[in-house]
C-alpha cells in the first residue's frame, strides 16, 4: 500500500501505521483522513492483521489536530462533508473494528489528534506527550466524537474542564485520569504497544473481537449487556472455543485457528 501521508507495514501480524506529515505536526488533512480510512478498511478485512499500532512520525507530535490551514475557509456544507466521511470511515471504523487498535502517542495529541487516539481501544503515551482538546480556542467544539469519548474515559467533570479551558494535560496527568493506559519513556513507546499486542495475539481471535464489541457497546447508547450475551453465545460456536477448553483440560497451550 503506497500512501502519501502515511507509512504502513505488517510485521508479525501487527499492522504499523505512522501518520507522516512531520512538518505539519502530522495534522489531519482531507487526504490523510482518506488514507487512514483506506488502511483501516484494509486492517479490518485482512486476516493476517491481528492488531494495529497507530503513531505519528517524529518525536514532537502524534497528531496536532485537524489541519487548521485546510479547513480555515470551509463553509458549512464543506464542514459537514468533512465530518461525515471522517466519523464513519475513520473514527467509528477504528472503534468498531474487530481488531485491537493501540495509539502510541509520541508527542502532542491535540483536537482531532486526541480524538483519533481516543477512538483507538488503548492508548500508550510517551512521557513527553501532551494531550488536549483545544477546539474552543478556534470557536469550535470537538467534532470527531471527542465530547463523547473523553467523557466516557475521564468522566463529566474532567471532560468539561479539559474542553472548556482548552488546557493540555501532561502524560502523567493523563494516566492519572484514565485517559491513557500507560506512560513510558519515548524510546519504549512502540515496544510497550508490542508487548500488549503480543499478549493479545496469543488469545483466540474471535473472542478478542467479541470482547471489543461488547466493551464498546457498554459505553454506547445501545444495550451493552444484550450485546455481551449475544457475543458470548456466539463464542460457543467457534473452533477456538473448543480448542481453548480442550487445551485447558489437556494441560497444554492452545493453538487457535481464528475459526
Active site residues: 115, 135
DSSP state letters, 37-67 = HHHHHHHHH-TT--EEEEEESTTTEEE-SB-
Q: Which of 3, 5, 54, 65 binds ligand DAK (CB under 6 A)?
A: 65
- Residues 228, 245 contacting (CB under 8 angstroms): no
**In the complex with ligand DAK, which residue's Cβ is closer, 6 or 25?**
25
Take residue 258 and report the three cell numbers written for it. Answer: 481464528
Min CB(203)–ligand DAK separation in Å: 34
Q: What residues between 149 and 208 interact with ligand DAK by CB under 6 A?
A: none
Nearest CA to 108 out of 176, 26, 188 is that of 26
Cα→Cα distances 209→50, 104, 256, Å? 10, 21, 14
Cα→Cα distances 42→22, 75, 89, Å? 24, 32, 12
Q: Which of 56, 100, 111, 205 binds ligand DAK (CB under 6 A)?
A: 111
Binding part of the chain for ligand DAK, among 30-38, 50-58, 77-85, 152-160 by CB under 6 A, reads: 77-85
* Per-residue interface string for the shown chain with ligand DAK, residues 6-45, x marking contact by CB under 6 A: ------------------xx-x------------------
Q: Rounded distance, CA 73 to CA 14, Å?
A: 38
The contact set with ligand DAK (CB under 6 A) reads 24-25, 27, 64-69, 71, 79, 82-83, 86, 108, 110-112, 134-135, 138, 140, 143-144
Amino acid at each position: 500500500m503506497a500512501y502519501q501521508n502515511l507509512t504502513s507495514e505488517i510485521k508479525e501480524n501487527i499492522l504499523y501505521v505512522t501518520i507522516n506529515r512531520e512538518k505539519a505536526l502530522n495534522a489531519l488533512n482531507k487526504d490523510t483522513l482518506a488514507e487512514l480510512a483506506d488502511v483501516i478498511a484494509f486492517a479490518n478485512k485482512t486476516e493476517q492483521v491481528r492488531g494495529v499500532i497507530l503513531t505519528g512520525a517524529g518525536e514532537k507530535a502524534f497528531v496536532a489536530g485537524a489541519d487548521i490551514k485546510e479547513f480555515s475557509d470551509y463553509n458549512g456544507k464543506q464542514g459537514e462533508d468533512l465530518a461525515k466521511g471522517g466519523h464513519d470511515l475513520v473514527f467509528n471504523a477504528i472503534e468498531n473494528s474487530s481488531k485491537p487498535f493501540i495509539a502510541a502517542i509520541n508527542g502532542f495529541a491535540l483536537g482531532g489528534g486526541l480524538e483519533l487516539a481516543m477512538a483507538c481501544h488503548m492508548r500508550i503515551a510517551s512521557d513527553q506527550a501532551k494531550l488536549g482538546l483545544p477546539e474552543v480556542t478556534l470557536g469550535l467544539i470537538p467534532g470527531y466524537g471527542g465530547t463523547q469519548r473523553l467523557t466516557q474515559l475521564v468522566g463529566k467533570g474532567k471532560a468539561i474542564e479539559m474542553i472548556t479551558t482548552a488546557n493540555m494535560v501532561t502524560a502523567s496527568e493523563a494516566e492519572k485520569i484514565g485517559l491513557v493506559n500507560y506512560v513510558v519513556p519515548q524510546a519504549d513507546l512502540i515496544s510497550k504497544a508490542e508487548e500488549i499486542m503480543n499478549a493479545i495475539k496469543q488469545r483466540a481471535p474471535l473472542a478478542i473481537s467479541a470482547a471489543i464489541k461488547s466493551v464498546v457497546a457498554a459505553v454506547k447508547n445501545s444495550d451493552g449487556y444484550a450485546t455481551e450475551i449475544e457475543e458470548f453465545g456466539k463464542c460457543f460456536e467457534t473452533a477456538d472455543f473448543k480448542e481453548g477448553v480442550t487445551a485447558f483440560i489437556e494441560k497444554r497451550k492452545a493453538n487457535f485457528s481464528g475459526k
